[in-house]
Structures are given as structure tokens and as C-alpha cells.
């Protein structure tokens, strides 16, 4: 290899490492710390050729797990950082000779799942009612989410029974809308996706759409910007079953709420099925229009609670069977007794055990389970950040008075610190945009969104701000 080729290869590796670092910043905000360390930290960036990022993975099992569980997140992140036409390919280690030069790898295709388009309604441009009926509706359902592998217990019995009734007769029961609420990680998404999968299994021609309130909002904003509001409206009002996850994030978005209100009315009047999930009862949701809350209470509102011990053991047994692992009874019981707050944490513990056995060649023992549970317990019980703590840390870092973050001054250094604080508050807490704005002198949610976008723009173009973001995130996370 000549010197010129060597320089090109080294530059390609350097570029890949820098770009992958930006991707990891986004991924870290969307998965638990345990998942991040187990899976994403072990991917090695190898090459960037301008359109294609090559990542090295430690095993074929690793590749299959990423493909099955995180393909959508990874692909969206790659295209956000590298551009809409970029893609990722993998090199999987098949023989580790002890050094990077001795490694033998095999190339595997990139992610098969692809990315959900930002404007799905643009796939069809109906001009008449006949055209509307022939519109193609992308579904985005995970085939792994079915009623057959949903573990039922006292904590979710009513929600599961109602979901099955709706799936068997969409739009023809009294459960319209069906609203399922409860804390994160308890299986709400599994249940509503199981509805969609069963409806399509029984009637492949049904127009079933799964989305979430954040995506609905972004599509509506894009429709306004591109003068496609009629297409957006026709698209959503033409479905047979509309499933919207996390409706709590509609809070504070007045125009989006108004559009969703009229969409809801049109679908309900036509006898179409509406299914919604939330982290709280509709009446307890902040910044939500009373008209919407009233509509959400027309049908059945039911909750999902954390599972009891027996249900947790059953969930672990089911998940371990799906992954081809036979967990001994003492390990099942230990994990189930100590990981109590959510199904997602139970699955996370199983993933970690599986990874340590398969990737690190660890022996499947009770001590290994205890080690994994200690890690989950530490992460779950780490302190929760507050916006006041973020403001204090940012003010100290930039050496300004914290009170100035709420002032009306337009001095550049104050504006940057305020925007940085809002960005960190949005990314490191569960606080709504409107509530964040209230912590900074009563500013509205659009100001918070603008501030977050400004910091994202700085991250792409300003090394100093990029360093500030990395440093403050690490400091605030401890």
C-alpha cells in the first residue's frame, strides 16, 4: 500500500470515528445506559466513503440482535447525522487473531428495515374519494408483538381483554377509542401493536396505521411548510384503524391538537377504530385541550400496572424461550424478585445476561445474574436531574448568574447559555416543552424548540459548542 492510499485510509477511519461519535450521542439519548454499553459501544467504526459508513461487529449473533431490535433507531440516526442518502454496512468478526491486522471479517448487508418516511401521506396524492380508498398505508408494525407472546396477569388483564376485543371487531365495540395508560416499559406498545398485527392478519386490505404523537406533530409541521395540509388530512382520515402512541406529547401543541381533534371526530363518526396510549389518564395530562380529553373518554380507558412476581417470572421465561436460552429456576426467581418496576427492565436484564454469556463467554450462573441486576438497580436508582440543577451547572460552566437565564437580555453569551440549558433539559429530563419554557422566564414551547434546534446547528458547525455539550452531558450524568 503506497503512502497516498495509506493517508486516504487513515482519513476515512478518522472521519468514520468522528461521525460515529455523533451518532452515539443521539443513540445514548434514546436507549438505557445498559443497552448502550452492551450493544452500541461495542460497534467499531471502520470506514466512511462519503455515503456509506462501515461498522465492525464482534459476532454474527451481535449483528442479528441489532438487526432485530435496534435497526430502526440506528438507521434513523445514521441518516440524521450523515444525510438522507447515506447507509450503514457491517463487517462481522469471524476469527479474532488477537490484533486488528489478524482479524478475519465477513461483510454483511446493512439494515433491512429502512426508515419510516417523514411524510407517509406523500406516497399517494388522492384527488377523489375513490383515490383515497386506494391509498397505500405504511404500517410499521413489529411482527414480534402479538397477543400470543403477551404475558397476561392481574396487572394488565382488562387492557389485554379489551385489546383482543378491538382487534377482533375494530370500530364495532364500545371500546372506541381504546385508551391504555401506565408508566413506561409495561407493554402498552406491545399490546397496541398486537391489535394492528391481528387486524392485518385477518384482513390484509385493512388500512391500519401506527404512529406516535411526536411523529404526527412533525408530519403536520412538514405539511404546513410544504403546503400539503390537505394531503396530510386526507391521509389520516382515510384509515380504518388509527393507533397513536404516547398522546401525552401532544401537550402544549395547540395547532396540532386542533388538527388531531378534527381527525378524531371524522374517524369516530365514520365508525373507524381509534387506539391511544399515554403515561397518565387523559384527565391528568398537562396542556391538553379539554375537547380532546372529553373525546378520549368516550370509549374505554384502562391502565397497565407493574407486573407481580409470578407474572415477572412468566415474562422472563417467555423472553428467554424466544431467545433460545433456558434460564435455571434460581436465576429466573432472583431476577424477577429484584427487577420489579417494568417489563422493559426485565427484558434488559435478560439481554445483558444473554450478551455476557454469548459475547463474553461467561458461565450462566446465579452470580452472573446478581452482577447484572446490580447494574440495572444502580442505573434505575440514580438520581433524577431537575431543570434547576441543569441551570446551575450551565451557569457555573459559562460563569454567569443563573438568574440571567430567565432574563430578557439578548447578549450572545447569555442567549447561548439559555439555549444550552433548554437543550439539555429537553434531552436529559422528561419535562414537557411548555414546562421547560416556564423555567426560563415564561417562554413558550416554540422558543424551546428553536433553542434546541440552534444547539443542534452549533453541534454540526462549532467545535467549541460541541465540546460544551459533551462536557455538560457527562457532568450532569455523573
Q: Is the pLDDT of residue 76 over 60?
A: yes
Cα–Cα distance for residue pair 55/40, rounded to 1 Å: 11
Instruction: Cell numbers for 282, please give them.
Output: 387523559
Q: Is the pLDDT of residue 136 over 70?
A: no
pLDDT of residue 108: 58
* β-sheet bridge partners, residue 273: 241
Q: Is the pLDDT of residue 412 over 60?
A: yes
The Cα-based distances of 175 to 154, 167, 182, 228, 270 in angstroms read 20, 11, 18, 32, 15
Does the bond joining 177 to the residue before it have cis omega, within 30 degrees of 0? yes
Instruction: Cell numbers for 98, please give them.
Output: 488477537
Cβ-based neighbours of 52, under 8 Å, separated by 6 or more: 86, 87, 88, 89
Which of 65, 15, 14, 24 shows the shortest CA–CA distance to 359? Answer: 65
pLDDT of residue 65: 77
pLDDT of residue 221: 85
Interval 289-293 mean pLDDT = 87
pLDDT of residue 109: 56
Interval 382-404 mean pLDDT = 85
Give percent above pLDDT 70 in the chain: 85
Q: State pLDDT tens for residues 306-356.
A: 888 888 888 888 888 777 777 788 888 888 888 877 787 787 788 788 777
Q: Is the pLDDT of residue 129 over 60?
A: no
pLDDT of residue 384: 66
pLDDT-derived band at 274 (thresholds 50, 70, 90) equals: very high
pLDDT of residue 478: 63
Cβ-based neighbours of 392, under 8 Å, separated by 6 or more: 402
Which of 264, 260, 250, 255 shows the shortest CA–CA distance to 214? Answer: 250
pLDDT of residue 378: 55
Which residue do the cell numbers 382515510 mark?
238
pLDDT of residue 132: 38
pLDDT of residue 72: 77
Interval 155-175 mean pLDDT = 92
Instruction: Cell numbers for 137, please give them.
Output: 398505508
Amino acid at each position: 500500500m503506497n503512502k497516498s492510499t495509506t493517508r486516504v485510509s487513515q482519513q476515512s477511519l478518522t472521519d468514520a470515528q468522528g461521525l460515529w461519535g455523533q451518532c452515539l450521542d443521539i443513540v445514548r439519548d434514546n436507549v438505557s445506559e445498559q443497552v448502550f454499553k452492551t450493544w452500541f459501544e461495542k460497534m467499531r467504526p471502520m470506514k466512511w466513503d462519503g455515503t456509506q459508513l462501515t461498522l465492525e461487529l464482534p459476532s454474527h449473533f451481535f449483528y442479528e440482535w441489532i438487526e432485530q431490535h435496534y435497526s430502526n433507531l440506528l438507521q434513523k440516526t445514521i441518516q440524521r447525522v450523515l444525510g438522507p442518502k447515506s447507509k450503514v454496512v457491517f463487517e462481522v468478526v469471524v476469527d479474532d487473531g488477537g490484533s486488528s491486522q489478524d482479524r478475519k471479517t465477513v461483510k454483511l448487508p446493512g439494515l433491512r428495515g429502512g426508515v419510516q418516511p417523514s411524510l407517509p401521506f406523500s406516497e399517494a396524492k388522492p384527488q377523489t374519494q375513490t383515490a383515497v380508498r386506494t391509498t397505500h398505508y405504511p404500517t410499521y408494525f413489529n411482527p414480534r408483538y402479538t397477543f400470543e407472546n403477551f404475558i397476561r396477569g392481574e396487572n394488565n388483564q382488562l387492557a389485554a381483554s379489551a385489546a383482543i376485543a378491538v382487534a377482533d371487531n375494530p370500530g364495532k365495540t364500545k371500546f372506541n377509542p381504546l385508551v391504555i395508560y401506565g408508566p413506561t416499559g409495561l407493554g402498552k406498545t406491545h399490546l397496541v401493536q398486537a391489535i394492528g398485527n391481528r387486524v392485518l392478519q385477518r384482513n390484509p386490505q385493512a388500512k391500519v396505521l401506527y404512529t406516535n404523537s411526536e411523529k404526527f406533530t412533525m408530519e403536520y409541521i412538514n405539511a404546513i411548510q410544504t403546503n400539503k395540509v390537505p394531503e396530510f388530512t386526507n391521509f389520516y382520515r382515510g384509515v380504518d384503524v388509527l393507533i397513536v402512541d404516547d398522546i401525552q406529547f401532544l401537550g402544549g401543541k395547540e395547532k396540532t391538537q386542533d388538527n388531531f381533534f378534527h381527525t378524531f371526530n371524522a374517524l369516530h363518526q365514520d365508525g373507524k377504530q381509534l387506539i391511544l396510549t399515554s403515561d397518565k389518564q387523559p384527565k391528568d395530562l398537562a396542556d391538553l385541550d379539554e375537547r380532546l380529553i372529553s373525546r378520549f373518554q368516550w370509549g374505554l380507558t384502562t391502565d397497565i400496572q407493574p407486573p407481580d412476581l409470578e407474572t415477572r417470572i412468566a415474562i422472563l421465561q417467555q423472553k428467554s424461550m424466544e431467545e433460545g436460552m433456558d434460564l435455571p429456576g434460581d436465576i429466573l426467581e432472583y431476577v424477577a424478585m429484584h427487577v420489579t418496576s417494568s417489563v422493559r427492565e426485565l427484558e434488559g436484564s435478560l439481554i445483558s445476561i444473554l450478551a455476557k454469556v454469548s459475547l463474553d463467554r461467561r458461565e450462566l450462573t446465579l452470580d452472573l445474574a446478581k452482577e447484572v441486576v446490580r447494574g440495572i438497580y444502580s442505573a434505575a436508582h440514580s438520581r433524577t436531574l431537575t431543570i434547576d440543577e441543569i441551570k446551575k451547572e450551565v451557569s457555573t460552566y459559562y460563569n454567569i448568574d443563573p438568574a440571567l437565564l430567565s432574563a430578557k437580555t439578548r447578549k450572545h453569551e447569555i442567549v447561548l447559555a439559555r439555549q444550552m440549558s433548554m437543550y439539555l433539559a429537553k434531552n436529559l429530563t422528561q419535562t414537557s416543552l411548555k414546562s421547560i419554557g416556564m423555567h426560563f422566564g415564561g417562554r413558550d414551547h416554540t422558543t424551546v424548540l428553536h433553542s434546541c434546534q440552534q444547539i443542534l446547528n452549533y453541534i454540526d458547525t462549532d467545535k467549541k459548542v460541541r465540546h460544551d455539550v459533551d462536557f455538560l452531558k457527562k457532568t450532569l450524568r455523573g
